Structure 1
Amino acid sequence: MDPVIAASLSAESPAAGMTPDLPLPEDDPAFQVFIDSLSYLPPEEIERVREAYLFSEKAHRGQKRLSGEPYITHPLAVAGAIAEWQMDVEGVVAALLHDVMEDTSVGKSEIADRFGKPVADLVDGLSKLDKIEFQSQEEAQAENFRKMLMAMARDLRVVLIKLADRHHNLQTMAAVRADKRRRIARETLEIYAPIANRLGLDKLFRELQDLSFELIYPMRARVLARALKAARGNRRELLSRILEGITGKLREAGVQAQVFGREKSLYSIYRKMIDKHLSFSQVLDVYGFRVLVQDVPTAYLALGALHGLFKPVPGKFKDYIAIPKPNGYQSLHTTLIGPHGTPFELQIRTEAMENVAQEGIASHWLYKDSEDFGADLQQKTTTWFHSLLDLQSATGDSSEFFEHVKVDLFPHEIYVFTPKGKIIALPRGATAVDLAYAIHTDIGNHCVAAQINFKPLPLMTELTNGDRVEIVTAADAHPDMAWLTTVKTGRARSKIRHYLKSVHHDESTALGEKMLDQELRALGVVASELPVSSWKNVLRDSGNKLIKEVYTDIGLGFRLAGVVARRLLAREETPQPAERAPVSLVIRGTEGMAVQFAPCCQPIPGDPIIGSIWKGKGLVIHTHDCPAIRKARTAKPMKWIDVEWEPEPGKLFSVRLLIVVQNTLGALGRIATEISTSGINIEHVNMEEKRPGLYTTLRFTVQVASRTSLARLMRSLRRIPEVVRITRDQGLTA
């Protein structure tokens, strides 16, 4: 049962062996209209629908909606909406039965026996979706949303029936508590309406938005509706002139067409007012016109003719015929300047495109006999669902999955071209990295640069509509964690996180092996000489299946290397100082994410260092004299391990310098030149005036290879006459 509508359940449950030999309510106008709408089905299938109605009516007998109506009116309305899309008989029957498994004692097996397994599977899928209540807890909402999208991927009819179910519930919520109405309406705006839009169900999408808007902000909706009605009267003459001008010009050009005036939906007007901080009177394009023509060439001919009648607004033309939206939508959009300088939107499309625009994926059933309108859309929708399954397998985490998919539900697309001319749709604000992952995961994982419109540009460059983009890759390149803050697509974010997690896991395994080897050497044992039986005992006790998993747990901080070492040697778990030889863990600094350098003291090669292992993070390195860790070292001495640098470290390290200089012209330039001449890179610089007019404190972050190179740099900087004092900035933050 949908959480919007609470039924008063009868104390009696329907008998297991219900029979359809009840009198049909032929005198019920709603039922008769519904039966008449099934004329597209053969007579024997209509009989199956009649039987399903009787089954549902008896199952729900004694239940009422909060409005007081018999509960059967709800599944009948949902089935009627499904019939408008001319869905197959299984879909119509499932719509009639969609609440029986949840609200009554009828089970899936009984439905399968009476109406077939496909119908039973659909009803079962809908029953599971009906348990979704999108609580305020983010985890619960994300998990439920994941289940919904997975159900969509299995059978598209599930979500179409669910959308029709939600639409009818929104129409009949007068008896529901105000707070519950608002919660359900917000859920609809956030989840159901975007899904309808993604499936191309434009008419349903706009109705869901308007109904939700009226439930969340009833007063605003009434005021806006009155303003729209008044504007309609005030602009009637203007709209008539535009309509006459369009029809006259098309007739003159020999174009046969149907022309319709249309209003923007209340919610779209409201969103424009909010997003652009406009009053209603400032929203000029409230009205628009739609021109339906016979074929695609005629659509472009009509566009040319009407551009000759009214001046087009530059930058407001969109050709969705040549480049359809991912949901299959096709049309020509242009904004024209009408009489008195009033702009209005014009849409030009064929009747086939109009069908798909209004009914989206449902046109697969609705127009299958006349033309194959839905085939391409069905393929695109299937591709999108497969991408959802790909995201799900890559993330595994419901909240992460929810975050990624919501990005794809609000795309506001741009279209870019690959060097081979392939068109790829991306959300507005997407970067070259998003495009790389849209093409292939390996291209994303190894991209280093981009050629955008034949110009070399950084990967984080924001793409614009119509860009030609070539991705440059390198075999040794890999994703950067900083990319997560700039990419826009769920796919790119998911693949980057998956890669970083995998690399972190591998690096942690190597670190764990190194740490365990250190502990064993301290106890006078060589790891390679341990008998297999020792590892068998450890694996049995730990619950791990592989030795590699034990290493990983150590590297990630979930197990202590010392404890594992003593278990391998079948010794007591308490430390035995007499047995230990002083052995330090040697690091290079190139271990990756498994070894992190504390930002408080920024240790560099040459500094005396110490490490602590943190659950889930790995090994964190501090300098011995870091003030941020003094209390922690005293309170938990067992968490700290001796660490030393390898003689030839393999990377550059960031260091902060505080330089007090005389406030003279060119001092900053001379210091920067000296640093650059020393072959050292400047990562960041800022300044603050200590004593205005006398001294300035410069804060540099530079990259050095070791403490020796840092000392050399500091000596050369002290020779600059303007430098008063230079110190290394350490231990300011924990």
Structure 2
Amino acid sequence: MHISEDMSSLSTNPAGRFSGSYQDKTGILDLRDSSAPSGNLQVGVASITTLTEKLSTYLSAQDLKLVREAYRFSDEMHLGQVRKSGEPYISHPIAVAEICAEWKLDVQAIMAALLHDVMEDQGVKKEELIERFGAPVAAMVDGLSKLEKIEFQSQIEAQAENFRKMLLAMARDVRVILVKLADRLHNMRTLGVMLPAKKRRISRETMDVYVPIAHRLGLNNLFRELQDLAFSHLFPMRYRTLSKAVRAARGNRREVVNKILSSVKDALNDAGIEAEVYGREKTLYGIYRKMLDKHLSFSQVLDVYGFRVVVENFRESYYALGTLHALFKPMPGKFKDYIAIPKTNGYQSLHTTLIGPYGTPVEFQIRTREMHRVAESGVAAHWLYKNEGSNLTDLQQRTHAWLQSLLDIQKQTGDSAEFLEHVKVDLFPGSVYVFTPKSKIVALPRGATALDFAYSIHTDIGDQAIATRINNEPVPLRSELKNGDIVEIITSPNSRPTANWLSYVRTGKARSAIRHFLRTANLNESTELGKQLLAQALVALQLNPELPDFLVDKLLNESTAKSMDELYTDIGVGKRMAALVARHILDLVQDDSPSIPFQQLGERQAHRPAPVIIYGSEGVSVQLAACCMPIPGDGIIGQLKRDQGLVVHTDDCKHAKRLLIKEPDRWIDVTWGEDLNRRFDTRISVIITNERGALARIAAEIGEADINISHVNMEDGDSNDMTHIHFTIQVESRNHLAKLMRSIRHLNGVSRVTRERG
């Protein structure tokens, strides 16, 4: 993921010489290659005239002077740099600044737009920008620049870290993301010159990350344009085919559109409502998604066109709605009131679908002028820095809360890839709206549970949640929320998160808070496990697991860990691979040998590393897999999972075998310890004749074997006279289980007893 995807390359002549001229009044840059032979001049012209005209409508003369200074500096720094299209590079920062000017961003944001690539491309230091243009501008440019060339373990990690840097800068100053979105929009508009593979990569990144951010910030025009541009490069044939079909449909449906427009205008005039009414065409990507999701052909997508009614005030919105419902029949279940309950990005409108002329469904949006301004420009319509002294609007409060949640997630997340995963979840555009017992509205991603709700209120409430009531009915914490639910969380100071909670939370905040608790609450266990795993990996490479001080110092200097305990903990929770760390230690030894007397093990000692011993009481750093439920006596293998530590499977588990093929490096040898003083969950299935007392007989036999039943589930067997009973029981070992199963087989009416796997 490139945080400043400039789509340019530095283009110079063999001698690397360029000359340029600058005219202050017109802002025209003339770039000429002075060493090129006559008749082969590369000439590019970039003008800031349009930019200054846009800015002069709302910036002062002093502000315009600051913009020109930023332009001159950017022009000077990018001199000699050319875009793939052959244009001088300075044309790109100018275009980004023009987009920001359309949103009426302030002078500091415009200056940052003009300077946004000078740190990354030209090596300008942040200190120089602070001295020339002030700390706020320098901080924005720094937030928009990719990280310096750090050695990352993978390209994915580098992309995630760059994205995290930008989002955290955005959390401190929302102007960072506005400038970045303008940068991405111009790059998408000029993507045609790139190679197909790069076009697809940049478009996929745009669709996955920047489109949801634009939607989350309420930048609807930008959201729609980025979607269509990304669609056109990801699926060019589908885009062209659909575009052609829409153009043809325009002509065919013009009569219907005109008839609807005329009828609506007349009806609103007769009702005394002053309104603007106009048709709007749905985006090609919106039509494509509808065809895909509902398995429709283009001819079946009837509502390609919609209509918008813009009125003067809030009250007239509802008057207009009543007028339209009197004119055309509304479709049942197709009315949404986003005025009473706005979307999370601040969007407000009334949505209704009516049966128009010729039986065609027609969608209407009804809103006030202020709602229309927010719907098109979102947070940029009145962004957080424009009215610092006044009260925040609802949109500003929601945006501020979301930005603050990014900082909360960052504090609880040590890994950039995990941070990106959490943020992507929260960018999911679908929302569900629920109420607190005091009638405050809370918006959560669709699919969120009551536990997500608890964490959205406060991390402590989530950590201490034990139960919930939805609409005054007691339900489990895993219950999925629906629009309009009234949710109450019951807490206990003794409650603590468990690893199982991760399987049913939906929001990034909840997921990061749970993982943070699990990491910190069992730090000593994870550290000890990591130490054991690294020792095993070192022995496998014929290295002594007792590392000398000089090697520890070198290892810590070349990693992000501050101490060996932190390194062990990272290995214990699966964030680092013990084999990779051991390999790095071997490289350090080989680089400095033979001058360093580091003891290596003999071949016989290092032939096979000792397996990790499992006692089953290690806590969350070691988990017994729920798919196969291993018990002492089973052959077992261990999988290192990110942020979950070591997961133990039986060696014949089908699920484990599939995972072993995908990630063989994450598997290690494990073995059961001696004197295991605890019991282990496992499952058995019993098929028995359907008669009175059958369940009681089996339960009594299980009790006689000194075995606890933790769960029972019954279902009909293959025939009417048989019953299938599933037990989850707690046993000491495989022998203990085998003895119980032999006893159950001898009971009257029992047809079959098996141990359940998967």
Query: Which TM-score bucket, shorter chain as reference?
Result: 0.7 to 0.9
Alignment of 1:666 onto 2:690: yes
Is this contact kept in 1: 2:212–2:429, CA < 8 A?
no
Would you say the 8 A contact 1:603–1:609 is kept in 2?
A: yes
Q: Which residue of 1 aligns with 2:620?
A: 593
Report the equivalent of 1:444: 462
| 2-structure distance, mates of 1:139, 1:640 | 33
Which residue does 2:659 correspond to in 1?
Answer: none
Match of 2:205?
Answer: 187
- Residue in 2 that maps onto 1:247: 265
Q: 1:396 matched to which residue of 2?
A: 414
Task: Select the residue among 682, 689, 708 that pairs with 1:655.
Answer: 682
Change (3 A) 1:33 1:542: closer
Report the number of matched residues.
659
Q: Hey, what does 2:244 align to over in structure 1?
A: 226
1:675 equivalenced with 2:698 (yes/no):
yes
Match of 1:171 among 183, 189, 195: 189
Cα distance per residue 1:224-254 (max 9 Å; x no partner): 1121111121111111222122222222222
Most deviating of 589-598 and 547-556: 547-556
* Equivalent residue in structure 2 for 1:274, among 281, 289, 292: 292
Question: What letter corresponds to residue 666 of structure 1 in structure 2?
Answer: N
Q: Which stretch of structure 1 is more off in the superposition, 549-558 or 233-242?
A: 549-558
Aligned pair 1:139/2:163, yes or no?
no
> Structure 1 stretch 123-132 or stretch 452-461: which is displaced more?
123-132
Of 674, 682, 692 in structure 2, the residue corresponding to residue 643 of structure 1 is 674
Partner secondary structure for residue 364 of structure 1:
coil
Q: In the alignment, is the contact (CA less than 8 A) between 1:446 and 1:479 conserved in 2?
A: yes
1:504 Cα deviation (Å)?
Answer: 3.5
Range with bigger deviation, 142-151 or 547-556: 547-556
2:750 is the counterpart of 1:723:
yes
- Partner-residue secondary structure (3-state), 1:128: coil
1:66 is aligned to 2:84: yes
Q: 1:9 to 1:150 in 2, by over 3 A?
A: farther
Please tell me whether the aligned partners of residues 411 and 426 of structure 1 are also in contact (alpha carbons under 8 angstroms): no
Counterparts of 1:147 and 1:364, CA distance in 2: 25
Match of 1:2 among 2, 5, 27: 5
- Per the TM alignment, residue 307 of structure 1 is displaced from its structure 2 partner at its CA by 1.9
CA distance in 2, matches of 1:288, 1:282: 15
> What is the letter of the counterpart of residue 44 of structure 1?
Q
1:702 aligns with 2:728: yes
- 1:550-609 CA distances to partner (integer Å, 9 max, x unpaired)? 9989998999xxxxxxxxxxxx999xxxxxxxxxxx9997663356558899677xx789
User: Cα deviation per residue 1:685-722 (whole Å; 9 max; x = unaligned)?
Assistant: 79999xx9999997844314668997996687456322
Return the alpha-carbon distance in structure 2 between the equivalents of residues 139 and 81 of structure 1. Answer: 31
Query: 2:331 maps to which residue?
Result: 313
Of 380, 401, 404, the residue aligned with 1:383 is 401
Q: How far did residue 189 of structure 1 move?
A: 1.0
Q: Give yes or no for contact 2:335–2:351 (8 Å, CA) kept in 1.
A: yes
- Does 1:324 pair with 2:352? no
- Counterpart pick for 2:495 among 460, 468, 477: 477
Q: Is the 8 A contact 1:368 1:374 kept in 2?
A: no
Deviates more, 1:486-495 or 1:49-58: 49-58
Report the 3-state secondary structure (helix = DSSP H, G, I; strand = E; otherwise coil) of the residue aligned with 1:278. Answer: coil
State the 1:726 CA deviation.
5.6
**Structure 2: distance between partners of 1:610 and 1:483:** 28
The Cα shift of 1:356 comes to: 1.1
Corresponding letter in the other structure for 1:4 = M
Quote the residue 1:288 is aligned against: 306
Q: Percent identity?
A: 52
**Are the counterparts in 1 of residues 639 and 646 from structure 2 also a CA contact under 8 Å?**
yes
Q: 1:87 aligns with which of 79, 102, 105?
A: 105
Compared with structure 1, are the counterparts of its residues 172 and 394 closer, same or farther at alpha carbon in structure 2 (3 Å cutoff)? same
Corresponding residue of 1:501: 519
Q: Which runs of 5+ in 2 are unaligned?
A: 30-44, 532-546, 557-561, 579-598, 602-612, 657-668
Q: 241-250 or 397-406: which moved more?
A: 241-250
Counterpart residue identity of residue 681, structure 1 = I
> What is the one-letter code of the residue matched to 1:63?
Q
Match of 2:486 in 1: 468
1:196 to 2:196 alignment:
no
The CA distance in 1 between the partners of 2:639 and 2:191, in whole Å, is 52
Q: CA deviation at 1:207?
A: 0.7
After superposition, the CA RMSD in angstroms is 4.7
Amino acid at match of 1:346: F
Secondary structure at the aligned position of 1:41 is classed as coil
Structure having the higher Rg? 1
CA distance in 1 between counterparts of 2:647 and 2:294 reads: 49
Q: Aligned partners of 1:512, 1:131: CA distance in 2, in Å?
A: 29
From the superposition, tell whether residues 185 and 511 of structure 1 become closer, same or farther in structure 2 (CA, over 3 Å).
Answer: closer
Q: Distance in 1 between matches of 2:71 and 2:301?
A: 47
Residue by residue over 1:21-65, the C-alpha shift from the partner in whole angstroms, topping out at 9 and shown as x without a partner, is: 856447989532222112211112212222332333333333322
Give 1:424's aligned residue.
442
Aligned counterpart, 2:278: 260
Shift of 1:135: 12
Deviations 1:286-326 (A, max 9, x none): 11111111221221222222222222222222222222222
TM-superposed deviation, 1:392: 1.6
Matched, 1:31 2:34: no
Does structure 1 retain, via aligned residues, the 8 Å contact 2:212–2:428?
Answer: yes
The secondary structure found in structure 2 opposite 1:500 is helix
Q: Relative to structure 1, is the Cα distance of residues 588 and 672 closer, same or farther in structure 2, using a 3 angstrom cutoff?
A: farther
